[in-house]
């Protein structure tokens, strides 16, 4: 059985800013329905990689083959002048879907995202975890083939963060979006991913590519198993030697 065609396919992608190399020949391909994490030290160029995949920045050399992606930036960027529902429907409205229908589509996801009852609230009324879920809803509801998550839980406290990881794994198992997630948290990467791609410090190269085959869900009781720890050890070693 041959592997399915990749949805995202990067070949030898290089990118410089002001003469400084940020991406140094990245090869990366992602198959449909996979959850792939990009793990790397801070400032290694992960966000630039996403900009290239999302088409916000152009690669200097190399080929980028990616469908239109839904992008969730580090900041939740929920706009105070829109209700939570209107914020989550923004991507669809920009695509030209009539506002009423866009909001209906977004509204259907509110229960699964634990936001039911907050449709008409202002973002300021939401807690940190709820804001991230709303931002994620705004991202996935766009119906794009690939979802790019840039450190989605980076700003959350550790308790909320691990609850959000359990939750994200749960909704992902139900919807099976193709996800590319940036993180610098090894445990988060192992917990959520089918595959973890490790990048070197700037200029970024791929130094390791690990398939995580642990059974799902990998909630609180599994992160302490020896198999889980073994993955963490391997990824930490790759990060150190890079």
Partner 1 sequence: MSRPTDPPPPRRTGGLHPSRWAPSVILVATVIAVWETYVRLADVSPRVLPAPSRVAAQGWAAREVIAGHAASTLQVTLVGFGLALVVSWIIATAVDFSPRLRRAVVPLLVISQTVPIVALAPLMIIWFGFGIVPKLLVVALVTFFPTTVGLIEGFASADRESDRLLRSMGASRRQQFRYVRLPSAVPRFFTSLRIGITYAVVGAVFSEYVGATSGLGIYMSQQKNAFRTDLVLAAVVVTALCSIALFLSTYVVERLVAPWARGEEP
Site of interaction with partner 1 (CB under 8 A) = 51, 54-56, 68-71, 73-75, 77, 79-81, 90-91, 93-95, 114, 121-122, 124-130, 142, 160, 163-164, 166-167, 170-171, 219
Least Å from the CB of residue 139 to partner 1 = 9
**Using H for helix, E for strand and C for coil, what is the string for 173-212?**
HHHCCEEEEEECCHHHHHHHCCEEEEECCCCECEEEEEEC
The CA-to-CA distance between both ends of the chain, in Å, stands at 34
Our CB check for partner 1 shows the closer of 44 and 164 to be 164
- The answer to whether the CB of 212 falls within 8 A of the CB of 218 is no
Our CB check for partner 1 shows the closer of 220 and 229 to be 220
CA atoms within 13 A on the CB side of 43: 0
Our CB check for partner 1 shows the closer of 105 and 242 to be 105
Least Å from the CB of residue 78 to partner 1 = 10
- Distance, in Å, from the CA atom of 85 to the CA atom of 199, rounded to the nearest integer, reads 36
Our CB check for partner 1 shows the closer of 86 and 210 to be 86
For residue 39, give both structure tokens.
Answer: 């793990």
Our CB check for partner 1 shows the closer of 142 and 193 to be 142
Least Å from the CB of residue 234 to partner 1 = 28
């Amino acid at each position: 059985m041959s592997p399915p065609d990749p949805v995202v396919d990067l070949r030898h992608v290089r990118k410089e800013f002001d003469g400084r190399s940020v991406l140094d020949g990245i090869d990366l391909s992602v198959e449909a329905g996979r959850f792939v994490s990009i793990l790397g030290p801070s400032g290694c160029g992960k966000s630039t990689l996403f900009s290239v995949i999302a088409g916000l920045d152009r690669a200097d050399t190399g080929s980028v083959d990616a469908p239109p992606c839904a992008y969730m930036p580090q900041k939740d960027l929920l706009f105070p002048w829109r209700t939570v529902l209107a914020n989550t429907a923004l991507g669809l409205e920009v695509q030209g879907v009539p506002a009423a229908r866009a909001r209906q589509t977004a509204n259907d996801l509110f229960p699964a995202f634990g936001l039911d009852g907050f449709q008409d609230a202002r973002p300021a009324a939401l807690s940190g975890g709820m804001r991230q879920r709303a931002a994620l809803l705004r991202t996935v509801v766009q119906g794009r083939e690939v979802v790019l998550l840039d450190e989605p839980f980076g700003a959350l406290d550790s308790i909320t963060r691990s609850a959000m990881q359990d939750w994200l794994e749960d909704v992902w198992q139900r919807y099976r979006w193709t996800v590319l997630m940036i993180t610098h948290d090894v445990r988060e990467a192992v917990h959520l991913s089918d595959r973890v791609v490790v990048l070197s410090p700037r200029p970024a190269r791929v130094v390791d590519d690990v398939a995580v085959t642990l059974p799902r869900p990998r909630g609180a009781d599994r992160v302490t198993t020896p198999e889980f720890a073994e993955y963490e050890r391997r990824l930490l070693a790759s990060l150190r030697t890079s």
